[in-house]
Chains A and B, each alone.
Chain A
C-alpha cells in the first residue's frame, strides 16, 4: 500500500500558528521579535522574487525593485508627508514602472542572459539616485523618515513603529498573506500558464498561451510586492541610502532563500528565509561581525550541490516516508 504524501498545508498551518503563539510565552524577547520580523519581510521578498521565478526567470536584480519601492515611499514621505502605509502602497508603483520598462527591454532574453541583464539593470536606478543630489541627497541617503504609524483600535494600541512585537505581528501577517497569494497563483489557471511557458515556451505558445503577456504580468506582480518590501524596510529603519537598498546583497537574499528553501513548493521561499536569516543574524553575526553574509554564499553553493530542490522538498519527502 502506498502512503499518501503528507499534506504540506497542514505543516504550514501548524508553523504559522506556532509563529503566532510563541510571543505569548516570551513577551519580552525583543531581539527575536526584531529578527523574526525581518525574516518575515525577507520571506515576503523571496515570495515576490518567486512569482517572477514561476515564469522560469532567475533574477539577480530584484534590488532594483526593492530600492525603487524604498525610495518611492521615502520621497513621498519626505516631501509630501504622507503616512507611511500610504507612501508604501503608492511609492511601490515606481517599482512597477521599472518592471514595465524591464519587461519591454528584456522580452527576448532568457535564462543566463536574463540573469546577467537583471544584474546590470540595478545600476541604472542606483547611479541615477546616487547622483540626483537635489532630490534624494545622493549617496548620503535619506534620514528622518517617519516610522510605521500607530493604529488605535478602541483602547488597544498597535504601535507598528515603536513596538517591536506589534511590528513582528504586522510582518508575520504580511508573509502569511503573501504565502497565501503565492499558493493561489500557483494553483490558478494563470499559474498553470506560467508553468507551461517555463517548461517549454514554444509548446505553450502553440497551446494559445500569450507568453509575453503572462510573463509580464508575473513580473509586475513580483515588482509591486518587492517594492512594498522595500518601502516597509525604509520606514522600519527610518533611513535609506543607495548602497543599502540597491545592493547585491538585497538581490541575492530572495534568490538564496528560495533556492535553499525549495523552488518547487509554495512554502519553500518563506521556509528558507525563516531558517537562514535568524541563523545568520543570531549565530553568524556574533561570530563574524564583518563578513557574516559569507554564510549565504556558502549556503547557496552547498544547496545547489547537495539538495538542488531545496530543503522543503527534502522535508516533505521525510514527512511522507
Chain B
C-alpha cells in the first residue's frame, strides 16, 4: 500500500450486546481505500452483526464507525448507500416481481449521490449486468433465478449504486466450487477498478485468494489480524475453527 491512499473505513471499539449476550467486544480495525479485507470466524462469531452495524442496520452499544472521515454510527442504511456504501446479504434480498434489469436499475436510479435520468440508469444497469456475467435474460422476473444468479443480481445491483465501499456478507455460502471461482475472478476484477471491499465467509476458498488482509473474529473479539497466509496458520485461529484443519487445501 502506498501512502497516497485515503482511509476508507475506521471501526473504533465497537461493542454490541443483545440482551445478556455480548456479541461484539471492542472491535477496532481500519480499511485503506482500494484494500480488500476479509473477516473470518466460525458461525456466531459476530461477523454479520459487525456488518449490520457498519451498514447502519444495527446501533452499537458502544464505539463508532467512521466512513471517509465522517462519523456514520447513527446514519440510516439508505443514507449510507447514497454516501457510497453498498452491501449484500447472506440471503439475497431481491425485488421478486421486478425483472432482472429493473432490479439493477433500482440501484442505479436511487443509490447514487445524484440521481441520473431513467434512460441513463437503464444503460448503466446493462453494463453492470454484463460485468457480473449474469446469464439470465434481463426480462426474467428475479424470483425465477437460482441462488447463484440471485447473488450475482444482488451484486450487480449493489455495484449500480456506484459504491466506494462494498460489503459482501457470505457471498459464497452454498455455491459450487466452480461458482466460487467465477466470483473470485469477478472480485479481483472489481478491485482493479479501485473498489474497497470488506467480505466475510466462514469457508475460506473465496476469501483466501482475494484478501489483502484477514481479520479473525471469535466470540465477538478480534483474535488475529494480518496477511492471509499468516492468519490461517495462527494457532488461536486454528483452534477457533476446530474442524477446518487445512482450509487452504481446496485452493488447488
Contact = CB atoms under 8 A, between A and B. Distances in A.
Chain A in direct contact with chain B (Cβ < 8 angstroms) = yes
Interface of A: 189, 192-193, 195-196, 199-200, 202-211
A209 B78 contact: yes
Given A189-B118, A192-B106, A202-B89, A208 B95 contact: no
Interface of B: 55, 76-79, 81-82, 86-87, 89, 93-98, 106-107, 109-112, 115, 118, 157-158, 161
21 contacts: A195-B98, A196-B106, A199-B96, A199-B97, A199-B98, A200-B93, A200-B96, A202-B89, A205-B76, A206-B55, A206-B78, A206-B87, A206-B158, A207-B78, A207-B111, A208-B79, A208-B82, A208-B112, A209-B78, A209-B110, A210-B78
Given A189-B109, A196-B98, A206-B77, 9 more contacts: A203-B93, A203-B94, A204-B95, A205-B76, A205-B77, A206-B86, A208-B78, A208-B161, A211-B78
A195 B105 CA distance: 13
A190 to B, nearest CB: 10
Contacts of A193: 110
Most buried by B among A193, A200, A206: A206
A210 B82 CA distance: 10
Contacts of B86: 206
A297 to B, nearest CB: 29
A211 B76 CA distance: 11
A205 B78 contact: yes
Given A189-B115, A189-B118, A199-B97, A207 B107 contact: yes
Nearest to B83: A208
Given A199-B96, A200-B93, A207 B118 contact: no
Contacts of A204: 95, 106
A195 B112 CA distance: 18
A202 B157 CA distance: 13
B157 A207 contact: yes
A195 B97 CA distance: 10
Contacts of B106: 192, 196, 203-204, 207, 209
A210 B55 CA distance: 15
A196 B111 CA distance: 12
Query: Max chain A CB contacts within 10 Å: which of B55, B106, B157?
Result: B106
Contacts of B161: 207-208
A199 B77 CA distance: 18
A192 B97 CA distance: 12
A206 B109 contact: no
The listed residue with most A CB atoms (<10 A of its CB), out of B76, B81, B89, B95, is: B95
B94 A208 contact: no
Nearest to B104: A207
A199 B78 CA distance: 16
A184 to B, nearest CB: 14
Contacts of A199: 95-98
A207 B94 contact: no
Contacts of B110: 193, 196, 207-209
B75 to A, nearest CB: 12
Contacts of B107: 207
Which 7 pairs of residues, A with B, have the shortest CB-CB distance? Answer: A208-B81, A203-B93, A208-B111, A199-B95, A208-B82, A208-B110, A202-B93
Scoring A196, A204, A207 by chain B CB atoms within 10 A of each residue's CB, the highest score goes to A207
Contacts of B78: 205-211
A180 B94 CA distance: 30
